[in-house]
Amino acid sequence: MRTTVIAHGFAAPDFIGGDAALDFVNTVTGRDQAATEPARDWVDSYARLLAWARLAHLLPESTLRALATQAKRRPRAAKLALARAKDLRESLFVLVHALVTGRAAPMKTLALLRKYWTRAVNAHELKYVAGRIALRLRHDNADLDLIAAMVAYRIVEQVLRAPPERLRMCQGPNCAWVFVDTSKSGRRCWCDMKVCGNAAKARRFSARAR
Ligand SMILES: [Zn+2]
């Protein structure tokens, strides 16, 4: 797949996946158009990855600040961590695409998912707080791979627990965003009706007019 990396200021309309992990997969747009036009990757730096994670509420603010400090101190390590996060992201797209089209997920994809998921599990601690056991991130955590790990954690703990037939890919051309359909009717086809849905309607209309 050919991909162009472009700077993008993330905003609310970029979060339509129903879970932050799917929104992370959607930081690339147009994977379906790879043959004719490159896909667009919106994560142009580790700082951008952090900005995305903040808007996605993936990690507590204190952890994000610790990661930002770490990334500034170790720019090369941050660059490599970003490349690894993108590898995971593409594997997750393969996984979701396989589920959406009713095919088996590749073993190496599941192995990579497991690797990051266990890393996130290890980043947590169990604490007795006011009569109950709380699961939370360890305070000492400034692992540059933590964002990728938490994305994998969310895929395993949230997304894959949803009925597979509720996992969808937008039917709009040059999109291929993925989401969980939580609508009552279970007939959501588009990432966003305003973006891909209306474009499809306009195309149908002009086809009829011709
Ligand atoms: Zn779409």
pLDDT of residue 173: 86
Q: How far is the CA of 23 from the centre of ligand 1 (A)?
A: 12
Q: How far is the CA of 190 from the centre of ligand 1 (A)?
A: 5
pTM across the whole model: 0.93
**Rg (Cα) of the chain, in Å, rounded?**
18
Dihedral (C-alpha) 93, 95, 100, 105: value to the nearest 10 degrees? Answer: 150
pLDDT digits (tens, 9 = 90+) for 43-57: 999 999 999 999 999
pLDDT digits (tens, 9 = 90+) for 64-123: 999 999 999 999 999 999 999 999 999 999 999 999 999 999 999 999 999 999 999 999
Q: How far is the CA of 69 from the centre of ligand 1 (A)?
A: 35
118 HSE (CA, 13 A, CB side): 5
Q: How far is the CA of 174 from the centre of ligand 1 (A)?
A: 8
Q: How far is the CA of 193 from the centre of ligand 1 (A)?
A: 8
- What Å distances lie between residue 142 and 24, 79, 145, CA to CA? 20, 15, 9
* Three-state secondary structure call for residue 125: strand
Q: How far is the CA of 65 from the centre of ligand 1 (A)?
A: 32
pLDDT of residue 194: 87
* Stretch 8-23: mean pLDDT: 97
pLDDT digits (tens, 9 = 90+) for 179-189: 999 999 999 99
- What Å distances lie between residue 27 and 6, 107, 151, 177, 199, CA to CA? 11, 24, 13, 9, 21
Q: How far is the CA of 15 from the centre of ligand 1 (A)?
A: 12
Q: Which two tokens stand for residue 104?
A: 């088996």
Q: How far is the CA of 32 from the centre of ligand 1 (A)?
A: 11
